[in-house]
Amino acid sequence: MAIMNKQITIGSVSGNDEIRPGYVLMTIHVHRSFPEPRPGQFVMIRIAGLQEPFLSRPLSIFSFSRGRSHGLVKLLYRVAGKGTQILAGLIRGSQVEIVGPLGKGYTVDPSRENRVLIAGGIGVAPLSLLAQHLCRLSGRGANPAVVYLGAKTADELVGLDQLHKYCNSIRVCTDDGSLGEKSLVTRTFQKDMKKHDPARTSIYACGPKPMLQSLAGILKDRYFCQVSLEERMACGVGACMGCAVAVRDENGDKTYRRVCADGPVFDLQKVIWE
Ligand SMILES: Cc1cc2nc3c(=O)[nH]c(=O)nc-3n(C[C@H](O)[C@H](O)[C@H](O)COP(=O)(O)OP(=O)(O)OC[C@H]3O[C@@H](n4cnc5c(N)ncnc54)[C@H](O)[C@@H]3O)c2cc1C
Ligand code: FES
């Protein structure tokens, strides 16, 4: 089946574990033919055959692997409201309907070999798949990226174990100092900024809007930086304009782009924060 030419896959939940209070890691078995997602892409997910909740929810692909008989899609999500609460209640063997992989992912420029990932809270989800991808590109032994991972508290700091599989340079910080440095993740990065030569560096970020906005102020236009935005979505496939955000076009004029179809990844300096 397809929506707006997007493939619908029925997957089977093989794990749905609360790894921290209010944070769940879902593992879904999908058919072997499930397309390889690009880092930063997401899926729209809902319970197969149920009308409640009516709309699917967008979740980034946290990890993907393909075995001989099936693919494994992992999603890491925060229980935010009704939709994610229903997803969190799913037991092993439940069937879910997935549309995707959707959207445009992060761009990896081979000439900028110093990669910096900056994640705030659940924003770690798309950056984990990027770390996995960069690790594959860099090959064994190389450090594919420097990671700055922040959250409000130690309880809300998720995804660290997964990142450790791929990266050995991870700076952890929390707002209250309960784990790592007591600092905002943008501030921790800013202290290190001189180490990252703008000509050789690509920065990839995901997190709450204030974090990304503050990053825009810190970086100005000196660095190549892409961010993944998390607007509320309805259709998820470019049909309703429900997820439009203001950006600058090639001429510097204000225009609107759909997060689901034109994003969710955008050049940081093009985003207009309203
Ligand atoms: C491209 C994309 C990728 C995403 N990836 C992830 C992910 O990997 N993990 C994850 O936990 N979440 C992710 N989100 C956010 C996630 O989709 C929302 O948290 C979820 O849809 C909320 O649904 P709900 O029914 O549980 O909550 P609702 O009842 O709809 O909302 C509960 C609360 O969450 C807020 N909220 C709703 N949607 C969003 C949103 N898109 N962004 C921020 N706040 C929102 C509402 O304002 C409200 O305060 C992503 C969003 C997008 C657009
Ligand atoms: S959610 Fe409908 S166009 Fe993006």
Are residues 202 and 130 part of one domain?
yes
pLDDT number for residue 238: 87
pLDDT number for residue 56: 87
Are residues 211 and 134 part of one domain?
yes
Nearest CA-CA partner of 175 in 127, 132, 208: 208
pLDDT number for residue 235: 83
Which amino acid is located at 99 in the chain? Answer: V
Q: Is residue 19 part of a domain?
A: yes
pLDDT by residue (tens digit) across 217-232?
Answer: 999 989 999 999 988 8
Spatial contact of 96 and 83, defined as CB atoms under 8 Å apart:
no
Ligand 1 atom closest to the CA of 79, numbered from 1? 26
Token readout for 60 is 């980034």
pLDDT number for residue 231: 82
Ligand number, closest to the Cα atom of 207:
1
Q: Is residue 264 part of a domain?
A: no
Domain count, the chain: 2
Q: Which domain holds residue 196?
A: 114-228
Ligand 2 atom closest to the CA of 235, numbered from 1? 2
Ligand 2 atom closest to the CA of 260, numbered from 1? 4
Q: Is residue 241 part of a domain?
A: no
Among candidate residues 67, 102, 137, the one where a domain is terminated: 102
Ligand number, closest to the Cα atom of 229:
1
Are residues 189 and 130 part of one domain?
yes
Are residues 129 and 97 part of one domain?
no
Give residue 117 CA to ligand 2 midpoint distance, Å.
27
Give residue 193 CA to ligand 2 midpoint distance, Å.
36
Q: Is residue 234 part of a domain?
A: no
Q: Is residue 74 part of a domain?
A: yes
Are residues 122 and 36 part of one domain?
no
Give residue 233 CA to ligand 2 midpoint distance, Å.
6
Ligand 2 atom closest to the CA of 233, numbered from 1? 1
236 CB less than 6 Å from ligand 2? Answer: yes
Ligand number, closest to the Cα atom of 243:
2
Nearest CA-CA partner of 128 in 225, 23, 40: 40
Are residues 95 and 122 part of one domain?
no
102 CB less than 6 Å from ligand 2? Answer: no
Are residues 136 and 49 part of one domain?
no
Helix (H, G, I), strand (E, B) or coil at 85: helix
Q: Is residue 38 part of a domain?
A: yes
53 CB less than 6 Å from ligand 2? Answer: no
Are residues 136 and 64 part of one domain?
no
Count other C-beta atoms under 10 Å from residue 137's C-beta: 12
Residue 23 CA to residue 249 CA, distance in Å, equals: 36
Q: Is residue 109 part of a domain?
A: no
Among candidate residues 81, 102, 123, the one where a domain is terminated: 102
Give residue 258 CA to ligand 2 midpoint distance, Å.
6
Low-confidence ranges of the chain (pLDDT < 70): 1-6, 51-54, 140-141
Pocket of ligand 1 (CB under 6 A): 42, 57-60, 76-78, 80-84, 122, 125, 230-233, 259, 264
Are residues 93 and 21 part of one domain?
yes
Q: Which residues lie closer than 8 Å to 20 by C-beta, 6 or more apart?
A: 155, 156, 157, 158
The CATH number assigned to the domain holding 51 equals 2.40.30.10
